[in-house]
Structure 1
Amino acid sequence: MVLKRKPSFFRENWIYLIGFFVLYGCANMQRPEGGPRDLTPPKLLKATPPNMTRNFNAKEIDMEFDEFYKLTNQYQEISISPAQEKLPEYKVRKKNLIIEFKDSLQKNTTYVINFGKAIVDVNEANAMKNFTYVFSTGPHIDSLSITGSVTNTQTQEKEKDATVMLFPLSKDSLFYSRKKPSIFATTDSSGNFSLNNLAEGKYTIYGLKETSPNKIYDNEAELVAFIKDTINLTTDTSNIQLKLFVQEPEKFRFIERRFDTDGKILLSFNKKLFNPAVKILSPAELDNQRIVEFSNKNDSALIYMRNMDFDSIRVALSDNNKPIDTVVLRKNRKESFSKSVNISFNLTTDKLKPGTDLQIISNLPVESFNTGFITLKEDSAIVRNFTIVKDTLARRLLLKYRWKQNVGYTLEFGDGAITNIFGNKNEKGLKTFTIDKPENYSILTLKMTVPEPGKSYIVELSRDEKNVLRTDVITKNTSVVYNNYPSGKYTVRVIYDNNKNGRWDSGNVRQKVMPENIWVYEKEITLRPNWDAEDAVTIPKEPINP
C-alpha cells in the first residue's frame, strides 16, 4: 500500500483565507484618528412633503439627513404646535426620520414641529438646534415672529442655550402647572432667540435656564425670566429682553438637617433670611447653653450644644422675631462624636496680611485658653508682649502683636492650651509664618457718581462672581476706599436697592414682581503691587423693566 501525505488545511484553502482577511479588513475600516473634531450637526437634505407645505393632507413625514443620526429625549425635546392629544410616532430608518401622525389635524391650521436638541449626529452628538418643520392644512401659513435676547441678571452677560417659551394668553397657566410648552426656541451663542411662524394673538413669554432638560420650570435652583406685559402680536415683534434670575422660593423649607461627626447640628435653608434666630424648644433646659453661628448669607446655621445627653432635640427657627419652622433631630443618647481640638489660621500660603491680627480658629467653640501654654517666637527669640482675646465668633481667638517684616514667626501650643466646650484640649503643635510685604497690596478708591441722590445703591467689589469681598450702601456721590487689597483683577457691580434693605431682592414670576436691577461696571480693575488706584464710576440711570 502506498501512503500519500494528506494536504494541510492551510495549503488547500490558502486562497480563501487571503480573501477572508482582505474582506474582513475592509469591513472593519475605522475612522482615522486625529484631525479636526466634527462640529457640524446633521443637515436636512429632503423632506416629503416638503417643509412649508400648504394644504397638507399626509399621514406621515419622511425626512432625509446628510449623515447617520440618533434621537435623544424625543418626547421631551420635540414639540408640535398646536398640541395633539395623541403624540406622533418617530421612527429612525438609517438616515431618514419617519413621523407618523396618530391624531387628526385641524383644518386651516399652521403646524410647527420644533425638534429642540433631539436630532444629534452619531459620533460627536452635535445637536441640530432650533430646527423646525412647518406646514399648513389650509392655503395660509402663519408667518409672524418674535425675536430678542436673554441676559443673566447677576452677571449681565448674554445667556446661551437658554429656553424661551411662548404661551397663548389663554394657556398661560400651563407654565405654572409644569406643562411643556408647544412653542419654544433655544438661544444661540450670543444669547439671541427667534420664535417664528406665529399666528396673530396675545401671548406671554418666559425664559428658562434649566438644570435638567425637560423644558419645565420644576426646580427652584433654575434661572427663570419673564416680562410683565402681554405681547399683542399683530406684526413682527423684536427686541424682547428677558432677564434670568433665581427666584426666591415662596415657601421656606430646610434643605438639610443633621448631626455632624463632631456633634454640631447643621441646618441649611432654601432661602436667605434677614435676621434669623434659633431656639431650643425641647429639651427646654438646653436652650440657654446653645451656641449658634449663621452663615454670611443667612442661609444656614450651625448649632453647638455643650450637653449631648439627649436622644432628640426640637429646634425652632424665626426671622425678624416671626416663627418660620421647627425641626426635630434624633440620635442615640450615648452616641459618640469626635470632639478633638483642630486649629486653623487666617494665613495665605503661610503669610499674614500686614496690619491684621492672627486668627486662631478652632473647629468647635472655645471654652477657655491658657496663654501660659502658648509661645510666640520672633526668629528664635521669645516675645512676651502679645495678647490673645476671644472674638465675637465663639470658635475664634485673636492674637494681637506689632508684627515686623523680614522675620520668621513660630507659634507653639503646649498640651491643653485651648479647651473647647466639651472639655477636650488640644495636643502640642506649632505654626510657622511670616508677614506678607506691604508692597504686595494696594489701595483702590472708587469715586462713585449716583444718578438719583437719595435712592439707595449697593456697591459690591469681587474677584469673581461668587466671591463678594465687600459691600457698601451709598445714597449720594461719594468715594469708596478699599485699603490693603492684594494685587489682582477686580470687578464692581451695583444693585439698585429700591426698597433700601441693603441686599439684592429676587423677583417672583407668579406675582409678576421683577428682581432688583443690577449694573456691572464694564471696566475690569487691575490692582498692581504697591499701587494706589483710582477709578471714576458713574452709575447709569436704572433701566425700566418691561
Structure 2
Amino acid sequence: MGGPQDEDPPIVLEMIPKDQSLNTKPKAIVITFDEYIKLDNANKNILITPRINKDEVIITALKNTLEIELNQELEDNTTYVFNFQKSIQDLSEGNPAENLKLVFSTGEQIDSLRVTGSVNRYFPGKNDKIENAIVGLYPIDDTTNVFIAPPYYLSQVDTAANFSISNIKAGKYFAYAWQDDNNSLKAEYKSEAFDFIKDTITINQNIEGLHFNLSKGDQNPINLLRSSPIGSNYTIVLNKTPNEVLLKNDKIGSEIFYTIGEKRINLYSKSIIADSISFNLNVKDSVGYEVDSLIWAKFEESERKPEKLTISANSGKNFYQNLPIELTFNKPITDINYDSLYLAYDTASVVKISPEMLSFKDSLRRDVLRINLLVPDSIPYETFSLKAADSTFRDIEGQYNEVALSANYKKLKKETLSDEISGKIEGSEGPFIVQLLDSKGELIRESYIESGNQFSFKLIEAANYQIRVIEDTNKNHRWDPANFEEKRYAERTFNFLDPETGNGNILIRGGWIVEDLVIKATPNTGIKIDQD
C-alpha cells in the first residue's frame, strides 16, 4: 500500500519439462513463476500445436504455479509448442508474461520449419478485429478441413495482420485462414470470413509471404425446400435468399410477376388460374451454386385477406439536376394514379409526374419504381418533395396504398460540388466495379469499367470519401465470395491508400479537381517460397 504500481510481468522460475527438451512425453506441464498469477481466457489464448484434444486438457493456476494436465498420449517424434500469448498475468495488476512459449519434442529433434505471411479482409464489419483471425495447416492425409475440426498447426494473426507458425514438421499441408469469431478454432461455413490456398503446400524449408484474403459467403449450397399456394398467390421457399432468379413461362412479365423475399420467391397472378401451370426455375446463390427445377403452380380463389401494400422511398438523398427517386413496394404494382403523384418545391409550385418519367428496375417484378426527373438550375429551390396521396398505387392483388407518401430530396448548388475525382488502377485487369464510399463506408456512387483502368466521378458533394475497386472477373457486375468446394477464390477488392500516410480518406471540397489517384491491387492469395 502506498508503493509504486507493479508494472513487472511474471517471470518464469522453472518449467517441467524444460524448454527445448527432447525425448519427453509429459502427462502434465508445470510452470513456476516469481509471483502469484491468474489466467485470462486460457482456452482461447493458449495456442497448442500440433493439434491435441483441448476438451481433455485441464488448465489451473494456483498461487505462483500453472499446471496443464494433458490427459492424452502425445504423438511420437513430434515437436509440441505451447504459446501462452497474454494468458498468464500477475495477480495484482494483470501484467502479462512476455513472449512465454514452451517447446519440446517427443523424439530426437526439434522441428524448426516456419511459415509466415499476412492476412487481408474483404468488406470488414465494424466489429471485426483482424487479430481474431486464425491461420492453420492441415496435413495432406488429414480427413478433416477448416469447417470440421481445428488445424494441426495454427497461429493467431497479430494487430498488424501478420502471422507466424513455427516448429513445423516437414511435409505436405493444406493452408487456411478464417475469422474465428466464436473461438472454436474452426470456421463457420455460414457466418465467418475465410480463405484457403488452392494447392498443397510442401514445407521442406521456411516459407514467407503466404497471403490470405478473407471473405464471407454462406458455403451451404442453395436448395429448394418446398413450394405451395398462399392465398391466391404461390410461394417457393428456399434454404437461403437467392442472388439470381430466372423464371420461364409465357405469362411471366405480362400476367404473372414475382418478388424476392427472405429465403423465398413470391409469385402473383393478375387473374385466377385454377389449373396448374409449369415454371422452369433457376436460382443461384452468392457463392455460385445453382438449382434448376420444374415448378407446378396454382393461383386459386381464396378467402385469405391480401397483405396491405407498403411503400418505402430513398428519401433524404442529395442530388444535382438528376433527381434519383426510387420507390420500393412489397408487391408488384399494376396501376398508378398520376393525378395524385407530383413533385413539390414550394408551397404552390409542383411538377406533375408523367408516365414517361417512370421505369421499373425489373419489369418481371414491378416492385421497384424509378422516377427519372431533371431539375434545372432555373428552379431556385433546394428542397423538393415527392408527394403521393393515398390510393395512388394499386398492386396486383387490388390493394391501394392506405398511407400518403412524402419523400424529401435536397438539390445541391454546382459551386459547392467538386468538379471531378479521377485516377487509375494498377496491378490488375478489368472489368472493374469502382465504388465511391462516404467516410462511414456507405456507397455513394458506382461505375463499371468494361475495359481499361481509368476511373472518374464528376460533380461530387464536398466531403471525405474512400474508393473501393472490385475485380469483376466473371463479368456479372457484382462481387462474388469464395467457393470452397470448387476451390474458387473470392473476387479481389482493393482500396485507395495514400502512399505517404497509408490513409484511405480523400478530402473533397467545392470546385476542386482531384486527379491522378493510383489504386494498387492487393496481392492474390498465394505463396512465395524463401530460397535462403
Q: TM-score, normalised to structure 2's length? A: 0.72
Any conservation in 2 of the 1:120–1:128 contact (CA below 8 Å)?
yes
Change (3 A) 1:428 1:469: closer
1:212 aligns to 2:182 (yes or no): yes
How big is the shift at 1:334?
4.0
Q: Considering only aligned residues, what root-mean-square deviation do their CA atoms show, in Å?
A: 5.2
**Range 124-133 or range 107-116, more displaced:** 124-133
Q: Deviations over 1:412-432 (max 9, x none)?
A: 555533333333334574748
Task: Find the counterpart in structure 2 of residue 474 from structure 1.
Answer: 450
**In structure 2, how many angstroms separate the alpha carbons of the residues matched to 1:307 and 1:222?**
45
Match for residue 16 of structure 2 among 42, 48, 51: 48
Q: Within 5 Å, which residues of 2 pair with 1:442-457?
A: 442-448=418-424, 456-457=431-432
Q: Within 5 Å, which residues of 2 pair with 1:338-417?
A: 338-339=307-308, 341-348=309-316, 353-356=320-323, 358-359=325-326, 361-374=328-341, 378-383=345-350, 387-388=354-355, 389-393=357-361, 394-395=366-367, 396=369, 398=371, 400=373, 402=375, 404-406=379-381, 413-417=388-392
How big is the shift at 1:203?
3.0
**In structure 2, how many angstroms separate the alpha carbons of the residues matched to 1:365 and 1:374?**
18
How big is the shift at 1:278?
3.4
1:290 aligns to 2:256 (yes or no): yes
**In structure 1, how many angstroms separate the alpha carbons of the residues matched to 2:523 and 2:491?**
10
How big is the shift at 1:180?
1.8
How big is the shift at 1:483?
3.5
SS in 2 for 1:277: strand
Task: Find the counterpart in structure 1 of residue 211 from structure 2.
Answer: 241
Change (3 A) 1:226 1:354: same
Report the AA paired with residue 148 of structure 1. Answer: G
**In structure 2, how many angstroms separate the alpha carbons of the residues matched to 1:221 and 1:134?**
34
Q: Within 5 Å, which residues of 2 pair with 1:250-265?
A: 251-253=221-223
How big is the shift at 1:392?
1.2
How big is the shift at 1:371?
3.0
**In structure 2, how many angstroms separate the alpha carbons of the residues matched to 1:169 and 1:387?**
66
Any conservation in 2 of the 1:354–1:435 contact (CA below 8 Å)?
no
Q: Within 5 Å, which residues of 2 pair with 1:3-14?
A: none
Q: What fraction of aligned residue pairs are identical, expressed as a percent?
A: 22
Task: Find the counterpart in structure 2 of residue 489 from structure 1.
Answer: 464
**In structure 1, how many angstroms separate the alpha carbons of the residues matched to 2:280 and 2:480?**
25
**Range 514-523 or range 494-503, more displaced:** 494-503
Change (3 A) 1:306 1:353: farther
Any conservation in 1 of the 2:23–2:105 contact (CA below 8 Å)?
yes
Change (3 A) 1:416 1:254: same
Report the AA paired with residue 348 of structure 1. Answer: G
SS in 2 for 1:372: helix
How big is the shift at 1:147?
1.9
Give ranges in structure 2 of 5+ residues lacking alignment. Answer: 285-289, 499-503, 528-532
Any conservation in 2 of the 1:405–1:435 contact (CA below 8 Å)?
no
- The structure with the largest alpha-carbon Rg is 1
Q: Deviations over 1:349-396 (max 9, x none)?
A: 7x6653316555555433323233456655333546653554214343
Report the AA paired with residue 291 of structure 1. Answer: F
Q: Deviations over 1:34-65 (max 9, x none)?
A: xx9x9999775543333333343654322345
Match for residue 161 of structure 2 among 191, 200, 206: 191
Any conservation in 2 of the 1:417–1:426 contact (CA below 8 Å)?
yes
1:517 aligns to 2:484 (yes or no): no
Change (3 A) 1:103 1:309: same
Task: Find the counterpart in structure 1 of residue 287 from structure 2.
Answer: none
Any conservation in 2 of the 1:205–1:227 contact (CA below 8 Å)?
yes
1:161 aligns to 2:154 (yes or no): no
**In structure 1, how many angstroms separate the alpha carbons of the residues matched to 2:458 and 2:475?**
26
Report the AA paired with residue 258 of structure 2. Answer: V
Task: Find the counterpart in structure 1 of residue 530 from structure 2.
Answer: none
SS in 1 for 2:111: coil
SS in 1 for 2:219: coil
How big is the shift at 1:318?
0.7
How big is the shift at 1:193?
1.4
How big is the shift at 1:127?
8.7
**In structure 2, how many angstroms separate the alpha carbons of the residues matched to 1:96 and 1:437?**
68
Match for residue 148 of structure 1 among 105, 117, 129: 117
Give ranges in structure 1 of 5+ residues lacking alignment. Answer: 1-28, 30-35
How big is the shift at 1:520?
2.4
Any conservation in 2 of the 1:487–1:526 contact (CA below 8 Å)?
no
How big is the shift at 1:186?
0.4
1:534 aligns to 2:501 (yes or no): no
How big is the shift at 1:470?
0.9
Pick 1 or 2: higher relative contact order, CA cutoff 8 A, min separation 6. 2
Q: TM-score, normalised to structure 1's length? A: 0.70
Any conservation in 1 of the 2:282–2:293 contact (CA below 8 Å)?
yes
